[in-house]
Structure 1
């Protein structure tokens, strides 16, 4: 049964009064105050290490689950209605990350994810879990969809191919998957009421599920489970959205009883104007050091990963190491072996030189794969007849790099047909774009803003043209610059060029919305849709994401 939108948003982002009930086990006082990092406390390796800066990734990767397999670290994140879903990130030092692939190749959970008669905005891939099972050398991704059922995907390499292993009728909300030392699979899940399920040895079915904890009303909502076994103790890491982190601990097995401690509450984060780091995961380096990787609400850009070291009390509770009473903007780098190679950058140039898109790209809903191709550029054939960009299929998106970045595309518009609209957008529930519209056989450059959706993600305005310019020839360069720092700026600007060198501003600055309820941050988006009839096409020969 699906929650109402009101219940859904409250449960995911605001602390609400919990259902009546007692905690399963005694409620302990908060853990010792988070410590202040010192080189000595972190050991001789870290004492001489260079520093890193938070956020470690200034792109939108939320609800992080992070693991280590050998000398590589992997993380998964929420992607809602974008396809493919659940990106798998890889790092060798917890600081520099690349996108290796996606755990969910296509959102085949109903027609709304294809933009067929319905839309899946702010549905799809929510907080989910990534784990590695040494016994069969396999990665597992587990997550629930639409409060209906849980899906499990597996792969023997982070890049894939990922394949669906099973569906389970119990929807494991905000799940954390644990591979125990004896190879048993357990799942912690729930909102306010936290449960643990045991899966069959093959991971395909549920063997048992049991409620293990009820959040005290004095705490409010707890969700976002991450499940660990550390030194013989079972831990469920939980978030109080969107300003706190708590942990449950059991010395009696995965089904409890559990006691609870507050890890932190209302902690100042490392992004000015941003929120409290929360809803992430714990991971241990090869040398035994622990780190917590969480996200920071930093709209309009989204939810940005930040990393902090963790120490443990003598009685087995984690303590996040702080700097001047806050999550540090800088810490010593983790002491890890030298990486085998540099990771692939999340910025830079893409010329779409192969038949497969690089994993930095995600479609707005599932694409119509008969209407696009890559290799010698990206060809986007019109896939939808609509005057509403939010209904247009085959809109290809790229996360914005913070704090500010610029996307520049080279567009061949010679194959457009009358009524077609193609260009580069700043895409969210309030959007704007620069591009080419062809009418009466004549292409024209335009800047359009005022595209909006309401809180139920229905279109309320398809936008209006606010500036235009003549265009000649078959090629044009389009550029969008976005300042995604939280605060009063939050501006996007558009410009164009006929030679790729000299750019001319087009239209007024666009104010990027910073409401949290869409969850995902703004993205750069490439689109081509028809308003009269199908058959037109454009070719993007180059995409360049750069920072100042």
Structure 2
């Protein structure tokens, strides 16, 4: 099946965004002929997605590095704006490393000999509130290792500065108390400096870090001959005359062919933070020049690499053996019994009993994936095998507001098609359309998403597709784009409430 929106134009060029979905705060490395990318995953599990490419344009999702979030009790319920913030991915001393900041707990790291795992258990390197956006550097020139991080004012009262440490090469000990290496309060016009990425190049320590906020900011470059500074700064990427707002926060990578490229995000409201690829060169004074003279490119020649198949991260899923693909994440740490493996295709989800069944934003057992493009159609089959009155299951678009369409068991034993929604300030859902019978407890569900994340829901109960309710405008959460979701739930009580089976999830 043709990808929803391939970045590869098939003629040696590509278009941005190269990842047209919410791969927030990307970081990238090159290892041999392979490129790997990770991104923020906040409170969803599994976390720390791992993407692979051979040309920086065509990407596949190969796994996740974090099975569960810690401390586990804090992520037993949805925490959409917490958890894994702005990770850094590195390869040093024969290992892959990921460092990230949890704004409520501190800086963690994990490592693995193979990028596909197994990964070590999370190690808390620096405890504290407001410690975010860490990036390590193993300096092969001196044999030293370093760490730089930013601050979240919401937790620490501190922002707009970067703190640096010397670090043991095993990534388990900070060797000093740390000091401010860049204080952007001292730079006229700079604010909300964050997201640093630390490099060594041409005899300089380099910190590539964004400022100005996710919607309207810019990408800065800082350099110093000494790790602790003083650093001189320059803006190296900004919106300029383009329509790419706030182009910043990402990673620099050098290809095997010796080319330099920069991957960064653009905040796109309900679509989240999509990823752009920019060419990168160096001026006569040794400063990076990103994009077209410091402005984002819309299309460009692809990086020099052997031809690659056109590819985007997977969306479709037949759920073979009752298992779901890597593209899915729970809205909190998973628990045993939420799904049931079986011999055929289709995802069999338990109708989990919960007092929050009427507010999808509070359910940990919603299985989600990113909106895969600006415009698309998603479709899935559903059968409800749940005798419990009030048991329900469906297809949702989930954010600060949500809407879903699916099936519900009635008190008289029949099953009906329902379509409900809730606004951001609402504490409970209400009907978006009048319920109608669903003979046999089966239905086809569809959502058609147009520009602006305007969602039209449809259903097929046996007589063809019919639209349901008004158009729903998807909304993001804080820091997180809207999500597609599958769920099954039931009212509180004892014993099993039955199951719901989803089949043939397709996006086009």
TM-score grouping bracket, smaller chain normalisation: 0.7 to 0.9
Aligned counterparts of 2:427 and 2:461: Cα–Cα separation in 1: 34
Pick one of 162, 180, 192 that aligns with 1:194. Answer: 162
Matched with 1:244 is 218
User: Which has the larger displacement, 431-440 or 382-391?
Assistant: 382-391
User: What are the residue-to-residue correspondences of 1:310-321 with 2, within 5 Å?
Assistant: 310-321=280-291
Shift of 1:167: 1.2
User: What are the residue-to-residue correspondences of 1:102-251 with 2, within 5 Å?
Assistant: 102-115=64-77, 119-133=78-92, 135=93, 137-164=94-121, 166-171=123-128, 172-181=131-140, 182=142, 184-190=144-150, 191-208=159-176, 209-215=178-184, 216-240=187-211, 241-242=213-214, 243-251=217-225
Matched, 1:360 2:327: yes
User: What are the residue-to-residue correspondences of 1:441-520 with 2, within 5 Å?
Assistant: 441-453=413-425, 460-483=427-450, 485-486=451-452, 490-498=453-461, 502-513=464-475, 518-520=478-480
Matched, 1:81 2:43: yes
Aligned counterparts of 1:465 and 1:50: Cα–Cα separation in 2: 46
Contact 1:165 1:204 in 2 (8 A): no
Contact 2:432 2:470 in 1 (8 A): no
Shift of 1:91: 0.8
Deviations 1:277-313 (A, max 9, x none): 1111111111111111111111221110001101101
Matched with 1:297 is 267
Deviations 1:367-410 (A, max 9, x none): 22222134532111122312322222311001111121111111
Contact 1:51 1:331 in 2 (8 A): yes
Shift in CA distance, 326/261, structure 1 to aligned 2, threshold 3 Å:
closer
Structure 1 residues not aligned, in runs of 5+: 1-47, 454-458
User: What are the residue-to-residue correspondences of 1:31-42 with 2, within 5 Å?
Assistant: none
Secondary structure, aligned partner of 1:256? coil
Matched with 2:296 is 327
Matched with 1:23 is none
Contact 2:391 2:497 in 1 (8 A): no
Aligned counterparts of 1:189 and 1:354: Cα–Cα separation in 2: 43
Shift of 1:343: 7.5
Aligned counterparts of 1:476 and 1:263: Cα–Cα separation in 2: 52
Contact 1:354 1:374 in 2 (8 A): yes
Shift of 1:337: 3.2
Secondary structure, aligned partner of 2:365? coil
Secondary structure, aligned partner of 2:353? coil
Contact 1:452 1:462 in 2 (8 A): no
- Taking only aligned residues, the RMSD between alpha carbons, in angstroms, comes to 2.3
Structure 2 residues not aligned, in runs of 5+: 1-9, 151-158
Deviations 1:198-232 (A, max 9, x none): 22222112112222121125312211111111122
Matched, 1:257 2:235: no
User: What are the residue-to-residue correspondences of 1:373-452 with 2, within 5 Å?
Assistant: 373-375=340-342, 376=344, 377-386=346-355, 387-440=358-411, 441-452=413-424
Shift of 1:258: 1.4
After TM superposition, the runs of 4+ consecutive aligned structure 1 residues lying more than 6 A away are none
Secondary structure, aligned partner of 2:336? coil
Deviations 1:3-49 (A, max 9, x none): xxxxxxxxxxxxxxxxxxxxxxxxxxxxxxxxxxxxxxxxxxxxx97
Deviations 1:97-131 (A, max 9, x none): 1111112211122423112xxx4221111112111
Shift in CA distance, 112/464, structure 1 to aligned 2, threshold 3 Å:
farther
Secondary structure, aligned partner of 2:132? coil
Contact 1:268 1:275 in 2 (8 A): no
Shift of 1:165: 5.1
Shift of 1:268: 4.8
Contact 1:90 1:99 in 2 (8 A): yes
Shift of 1:147: 3.4
Shift in CA distance, 356/210, structure 1 to aligned 2, threshold 3 Å:
farther
Shift in CA distance, 308/169, structure 1 to aligned 2, threshold 3 Å:
closer
Shift of 1:532: 4.2
Scaled by the length of structure 1, what TM-score is found? Answer: 0.82
Aligned counterparts of 1:168 and 1:356: Cα–Cα separation in 2: 34
Aligned counterparts of 1:469 and 1:392: Cα–Cα separation in 2: 25
